A and B are shown apart, each in its own frame.
Chain A
């Protein structure tokens, strides 16, 4: 199946995108746009953010110039691959009503055939999480399935970590393990710029065979391994996930929720950037004649005021209840629902929160036992 590891230079890697284009893939990957590294169509290697890195902290993201021309010398930005697999806006169906007869039209064009270039380990884990949610349960989402099928994935092993990363706590990285067609580890130094490359599937091996490469020496393999270990060593944030599901379900009234509620703006940034958040809403539109109608699906967030309601009002009016819902779901009840955590430790929610709420810090705080209000109040005046 998979061929052995190979080495190629950055010049030799130029052949990758054309090889994918020859197979009718639209290649999407990281590009610099408006001060961030986001995902968009890439035509050639030069479209990638060569020589850029990202500096991330709670509520902060800045691009900085590197002193080399590394193509993948950064981690993850505000986009995740869900923008392609679980689109932000999509039409579910159209309908026609003529002479009292209703016809539902299921005539959406097939989605483009895509290759994802530059998928990090945490992102592979996130795709696997969404696979489980949208394909692996009682129902299959046909929109996700159509887009997921036949995706060609070129993964990249991280050789550095941002300060907001915590993939090691969630056991999702930095080493890419499975779910990819090709995996790259970039090795850039004063005199060289090369990649360790390996195939993870037959489709990957076929593409690899079209590229000029040499078998990877044990030295290169060791260097790549050390580079990835170096990324793990740079990880600053940690989340203790021991019994986290019970911890969260048993601390519904923990005072920390009031604390975070004073900071949270319910802006929903975290849910937009989170690679596993999947909630959507629907919108019906019709034309003026009333003969043509469409139903559209759009991303939604549990932070919106009327996300959960019954007749009479919202059931989560307070900021506190909505933040608690998001965090408890992501880290705790997701496990009940899908057999594993919804969090992959990518750190995006920490970076893109305008007030810098750090989910790892919130977990730490919830682990602190809360004094029971009764204990505080029984006593002599």
Chain B
């Protein structure tokens, strides 16, 4: 009788893994890229232990990996309700804020994480990017010269170092959103290049299936022009160089006047 009771306890233990064991198993699934299996396990574990910080952080990161930002935000907010300084939740919410073009909120969240955990390389690196850039020593002429959209080009924006839209063509409501996107891309890419010793960002090419987007930039501005993919690369670069000069880039003016 006694042995049967003991055996029953062992069997029950085998049938019901602890929530920590489920989180560990979920992490293994996640590391192997099995996001669905990982999320199923985390959801089951959280049903058993609804206030598990580990579980909600894991859930938030899994949703971000699946590009599902609304439940990711809920998961990270749940964590902060339990622990207002949880660094991974603050980082996760900071990244979501940055995606939503709220650099101010992102900065506050990262500073909160670093306040408690100063040695947090991910938060340090992102904070450097979202902090305001130093003012340009030789700013563009304000307002810069008008820019005409090259034939067949889809869109151009000229963006200041603070993300302000200086010029857009066509001059419609799309320019503001494009300027914010270009600013975030140039800050992030510039942050990586600078941090890893590759120098300041000078130009970029972003390719999609249907279009080529070219960026040219210095400390004063970023020019971004999008062309259909079928136009030869040399042609689009020469158009971008011409626009860069037409915008009033000081280096161009200096070389022209000397």
Do these two chains interact?
no
